[in-house]
């Protein structure tokens, strides 16, 4: 009985799916949206108007948010360029994809399962411009692993991996005709000598090529802005001229005394003194670089409209990590604190009904979710090997969204700042394992929903003992996941016992 029912069901499915190959191709091309993934470098979520900053001008980001979905608790699970980029491409935590400075490059086996590669395989016309940020080698120890794993993908590889490759070398250059930029970007140097708007112009030309291909497209642009050096486009000098910025409530070293001593052992605390010496100049440069990206975003949307592509093109806007900007006396990123790990995330899908646009979602999301979301948008099943989730269900039915926590981690730099943490919409728990004569393993518990400035460590407050217990359990779940899925390459297995908070010392 069971067998005959299965046979009948298969026959029915076969009838339903009988369409001519030509019809199928047309249907797929019509149904599948184009996807633009816009990625800034070192942009924290506090830097955007629609995230509550009334001191900046980001009208195009605000408009994108007003017409799309603003994710208000978006974290980069590793807050550093190379690892975050590898995570975005593969949907995997750093300990699983195994790629970061001082650890190593990405292996071809992982890259083959990244969103650019699998979307191209599924018939998308793909493009990449800007900072790629990691190298890809055939196997562990292969040439190209180099110091820190290498941050540069060779041009010939880029040309092989994408239909249109305009990736740069290393950190790329702010000067459009700078030596680290691709020739396809340099061609805009006369009109846009600062590179940010050159990416906008590049996108416009890419849309024409993509349209001619007859395929849906996936374009990824990785802006250099607002990464150091703070040399913004002088065309926007007038935007913040003579402006004096209010400092955040947790600005400066006087707001670091309550933090784990481990957090103050790295270069984030000792370097980047310009945030102390000249906050106004630093934040003005930072904000002006972001304003330039805002203008490029406007160029990209205008070019989409001119090509008649606006109605079927999804835009995802986010960054690879946040930036401390002097909070608690920190500069740089890397640490699991709010400023360094949080970035804006806006997803604009013109096909969605008005009831699902212009809204906010406060569930915690992460860079691990970018590839799964892109897969889902392209109509592909989200592969099992990804740690993240598609955010489309969170957009459509937020009340049924099941995931409550994600992990944050740092396995780069000096041993003192190696850390593993978990965050929910309301709470963050951080474990700092490093010990020496002056410090023991340290726990931190912040009620981030009420204490965005992380001004009170509640881990030793008796009234929050239950909260601590609950977040420790969340931590242990994520640590178990790490133990299960950690890559055996690039020395990541050493971090499993280190981050085991119940380990016998
Ligand atoms: Ca970065």
Å from CA of 269 to ligand 1 middle: 17
**C-alpha to C-alpha distance for 198 and 231, rounded to whole angstroms:** 15
User: Which of 161, 163, 167, 157 is CA-nearest to residue 214?
Assistant: 163
Strand ranges across the sheet with 69-71? 164-167, 125-130, 217-222, 34-40, 313-319, 345-348, 69-71, 359-361
Could you tell me the pLDDT band of residue 140, with boundaries at 50, 70 and 90? Answer: confident
- pLDDT the model gives residue 30: 57
Q: Which alpha helices (DSSP H) does 55-144 contain, by range?
A: 59-67, 81-90, 94-97, 108-111, 115-121
Å from CA of 342 to ligand 1 middle: 12
Name the percent of the chain in helix, strand, coil, to the closest 5.
Answer: 40, 15, 45
The two beta strands, 419-424 and 405-410, are antiparallel
Residues with CB under 5 A from ligand 1 (ion): 41-42, 81, 320-321
- pLDDT the model gives residue 149: 52
Using the 8-state DSSP alphabet, how is residue 123 labeled? T
Superfamily of domain covering 33-397: Alkaline Phosphatase, subunit A (3.40.720.10)
Å from CA of 394 to ligand 1 middle: 26
- Residue-wise pLDDT for 235-265, tens only, equals 999 999 999 999 999 999 999 999 999 999 9
| Residue 405, H or E segment | strand 405-410
Across 130-141, average pLDDT: 90
Å from CA of 216 to ligand 1 middle: 29
Domain coordinates of the chain in residue numbers?
A: 33-397, 407-498
Å from CA of 223 to ligand 1 middle: 10
Å from CA of 373 to ligand 1 middle: 21
Å from CA of 17 to ligand 1 middle: 45
Q: Which class in CATH covers the domain with range 407-498?
A: alpha beta
Å from CA of 70 to ligand 1 middle: 21
- pLDDT the model gives residue 433: 98
Helix 81-90 / helix 370-377 crossing angle, nearest 10 deg:
30
317 close to 344: Cβ distance less than 8 angstroms? yes
Å from CA of 62 to ligand 1 middle: 22
Using the 8-state DSSP alphabet, how is residue 243 labeled? -
Give the largest CA-CA distance in the chain: 81
Å from CA of 84 to ligand 1 middle: 8
Across 66-87, average pLDDT: 97
Å from CA of 224 to ligand 1 middle: 9
Neighbours of 118 (CB within 10 A): 17
- Residue-wise pLDDT for 318-341, tens only, equals 999 999 999 999 999 999 999 999
DSSP-assigned letters across all residues of 310-365? GGGEEEEEEES----TTBTT--SSBSSSHHHHB--EEEE-TTS-GGGSSEEE-S-E
Å from CA of 353 to ligand 1 middle: 34
**C-alpha to C-alpha distance for 64 and 302, rounded to whole angstroms:** 13
> In this structure, is the dihedral angle defined by the CA atoms of residues 147, 151, 152 and 153, taken in order, positive or negative?
positive
- pLDDT the model gives residue 14: 41
Could you tell me the pLDDT band of residue 26, with boundaries at 50, 70 and 90? Answer: very low
SS3 175: strand
Å from CA of 8 to ligand 1 middle: 54
User: For the chain, how many helices (H) and strands (E)?
Assistant: 18, 16
Å from CA of 313 to ligand 1 middle: 26
Å from CA of 334 to ligand 1 middle: 9
- Residue-wise pLDDT for 453-497, tens only, equals 999 999 999 999 999 999 999 999 999 999 999 999 999 999 999
**C-alpha to C-alpha distance for 341 and 321, rounded to whole angstroms:** 6
**C-alpha to C-alpha distance for 5 and 167, rounded to whole angstroms:** 53
**C-alpha to C-alpha distance for 446 and 422, rounded to whole angstroms:** 11
- pLDDT the model gives residue 356: 85
**C-alpha to C-alpha distance for 289 and 231, rounded to whole angstroms:** 7
Neighbours of 23 (CB within 10 A): 9
Could you tell me the pLDDT band of residue 20, with boundaries at 50, 70 and 90? Answer: very low
Q: Which residues neighbour 398 within 8 Å (Cβ) at sequence distance 6 or greater?
A: 361, 363
CA angle 425, 429, 434 (to 5 degrees): 150
Å from CA of 311 to ligand 1 middle: 31
Å from CA of 444 to ligand 1 middle: 25
Percent of residues, the chain, with pLDDT higher than 70? 92
Burial 462-483 (b: 16+ CB within 10 A, else e): eebeebbeebbebbeebbeebe
**C-alpha to C-alpha distance for 374 and 65, rounded to whole angstroms:** 18
- pLDDT the model gives residue 263: 98
Å from CA of 42 to ligand 1 middle: 4
User: How many residues can be counted in the chain?
Assistant: 505
State yes or no: pLDDT of 232 exceeds 70. yes
Report, in angstroms and rounded to the nearest whole number, the Rg of the chain calculated over CA atoms.
23
Å from CA of 158 to ligand 1 middle: 20
Å from CA of 376 to ligand 1 middle: 26
Å from CA of 80 to ligand 1 middle: 5
Å from CA of 321 to ligand 1 middle: 5
- pLDDT the model gives residue 40: 98
SS3 373: helix
């Amino acid at each position: 009985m069971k067998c005959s029912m299965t046979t009948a069901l298969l026959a029915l499915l076969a009838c339903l799916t009988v369409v001519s190959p030509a019809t199928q191709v047309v249907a797929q091309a019509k149904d599948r949206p184009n996807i633009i993934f816009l990625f800034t470098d070192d942009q924290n979520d506090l830097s955007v108007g629609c995230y509550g900053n009334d001191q900046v001008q980001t009208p195009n980001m605000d408009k994108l948010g007003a017409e799309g979905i603003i994710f208000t608790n978006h974290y980069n699970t590793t807050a550093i360029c190379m690892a975050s980029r590898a995570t975005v491409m593969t949907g995997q935590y750093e300990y699983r994809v195994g790629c970061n400075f001082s650890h190593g490059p990405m292996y071809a086996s992982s890259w083959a399962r990244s969103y650019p590669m699998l979307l191209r395989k599924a018939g998308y016309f793909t493009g990449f411009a800007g900072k790629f940020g990691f190298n890809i080698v055939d196997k562990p120890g292969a040439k190209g692993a180099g110091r820190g794993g290498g941050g540069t993908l060779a041009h010939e590889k880029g040309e092989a991996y994408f239909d249109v490759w305009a990736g740069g070398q290393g950190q790329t250059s702010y000067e459009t005709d700078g030596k680290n930029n691709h020739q396809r970007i340099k061609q805009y140097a006369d009109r846009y000598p600062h590179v940010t708007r050159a990416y906008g112009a590049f996108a416009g030309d890419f849309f024409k090529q993509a349209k001619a291909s007859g395929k849906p497209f996936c374009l990824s642009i990785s802006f250099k802005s607002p990464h150091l050096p703070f040399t913004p486009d002088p065309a926007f000098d007038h935007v913040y001229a003579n402006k004096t910025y209010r400092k955040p409530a947790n600005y400066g070293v006087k707001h670091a005394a309550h933090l784990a001593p481990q957090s103050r052992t790295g270069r984030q605390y000792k370097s980047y003194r310009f945030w102390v010496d000249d906050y106004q100049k630093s934040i003005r440069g930072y904000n002006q670089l972001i304003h330039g990206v805002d203008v490029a975003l406007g160029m990209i949307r205008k070019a989409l409209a001119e090509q008649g592509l606006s109605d079927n093109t999804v835009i995802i806007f986010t960054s690879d990590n946040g930036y401390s900007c002097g909070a608690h006396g920190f500069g740089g990123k890397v640490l699991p604190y709010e400023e360094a790990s949080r970035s804006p995330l806006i997803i604009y899908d013109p096909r969605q009904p008005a009831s699902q646009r212009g809204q906010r979602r406060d569930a915690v999301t992460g860079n691990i979710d970018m590839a799964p979301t892109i897969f889902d948008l392209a109509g592909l099943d989200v592969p099992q090997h990804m740690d993240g989730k598609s955010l489309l269900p969170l957009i459509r039915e937020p009340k049924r969204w099941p995931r409550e926590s994600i992990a944050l981690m740092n396995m780069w730099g000096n041993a003192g700042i190696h850390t593993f943490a978990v965050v929910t919409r309301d709470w963050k728990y951080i474990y700092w394992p490093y010990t020496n004569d002056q410090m023991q393993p340290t726990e931190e518990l912040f009620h981030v929903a009420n204490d965005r400035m992380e001004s009170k460590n509640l881990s030793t407050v008796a009234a929050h003992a239950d909260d601590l217990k609950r977040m420790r359990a969340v931590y242990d779940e994520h640590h178990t996941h790490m133990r299960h899925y950690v890559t055996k390459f690039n020395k990541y297995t050493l971090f499993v016992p280190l981050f085991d908070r119940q380990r016998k010392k």
